[in-house]
Amino acid sequence: MPHRFYFEGSFAPDQLLLEGGEAHHLLHVLRLRVGDTVEVFNGTGAVADAVITNTTRKSVEVKVIARRESQVSSQVPLILATAVPKGDRFRWLVEKAAELGVTRLVPLVTERSSVDPGENRLKKLQQTIVAAAKQSGQMRLMELAPLQKWEEFLEEVCQADHRMLIADPGGSPLDLLNSTSADAVASPVILLIGPEGGFSSEELQTALEKGATPVKLSEAILRIETAAILFAGLVRLATMQSE
């Protein structure tokens, strides 16, 4: 299988120019050369087979020899709305969510939030998302949304057709794994993960009033990133089994 590289844009021209981290990885890590074949994807479903035609120290030209659209994913859209963990744990969360095929990740500001990732940090995490897609074979990039306040997010999503699940120690075990109803997993699924210390009672009550189902993920007390990835993984497994 040829190595995969990300190119942001259309594959309409025959010649594509890879620069930045993608060119560095191709040239100085994998040490590919003119004449080698690669696969290029743009994160929105387009894929191309290409051959390296020219290299410089910081860029690579490739010629498209075949274009194709990846099949429309049968995966249920999965939105992960989560408080932000401290330090590098958020980067790890973003990476693993992208590998699992989470459609959209929304960092939340809640009553007990203690971390604001900042706009610049969120932009830098785009490279983490690209790398995770390349490694896992995802054809579409996970969207990393701007930081959003809890109340604003709930108001936004309550307008759409979805199933909303909130991590809560007082909830019931996730029932999707035992569901035989296609309707139970056909709609987009929104997962809500609180900060260290959990959602406040007012926040939990608001989510329940908006139609969220409380789910108990574990007997143990989990870190934000552990709960988020466990939740996303369980729902991905459940929706795969229902197909």
- pLDDT per residue as tens digits for the range 169-228: 999 887 754 554 344 456 789 999 999 989 999 999 999 999 999 999 998 989 999 999
Q: Delineate the domains of the chain, giving CATH numbers in brackets.
A: 4-69 (2.40.240.20), 78-242 (3.40.1280.10)
- pLDDT per residue as tens digits for the range 40-94: 999 988 899 999 999 999 999 999 999 887 766 667 899 999 999 998 999 999 9
pTM comes to 0.87
pLDDT score recorded for residue 9: 87
CB 33 within 8 A of CB 55: yes
CB 189 within 8 A of CB 165: yes
pLDDT score recorded for residue 177: 47
Mean pLDDT of 156-178: 82
CA distance 111 to 130: 31
CA distance 188 to 76: 6
pLDDT score recorded for residue 45: 87
Structure tokens at 48: 């191309």
Which residues lie below 8 Å from residue 2, measured CB to CB, with a gap of 6+?
Answer: 36, 37, 38, 39, 49
Instruction: Tell me the backbone φ, ψ of residue 16, rounded to 5 degrees.
Output: -120, 145
Which residues lie below 8 Å from residue 190, measured CB to CB, with a gap of 6+?
Answer: 79, 81, 157, 162, 163, 164, 165
Structure tokens at 113: 């939030």
Contacts of 8-12 with C-beta under 8 Å, sequence gap 24+, read 8/42, 8/43, 9/42, 10/42, 10/46, 11/40, 11/42, 11/46, 11/48, 11/64, 11/67
pLDDT score recorded for residue 183: 46
- pLDDT per residue as tens digits for the range 126-144: 999 999 999 998 889 999 9
Mean pLDDT of 107-114: 92
Q: 60 has which bridge partners?
A: 18, 55
Q: Which helix (H) or strand (E) holds 50?
A: strand 46-55
pLDDT score recorded for residue 129: 96
CA distance 226 to 1: 32
Mean pLDDT of 102-127: 91
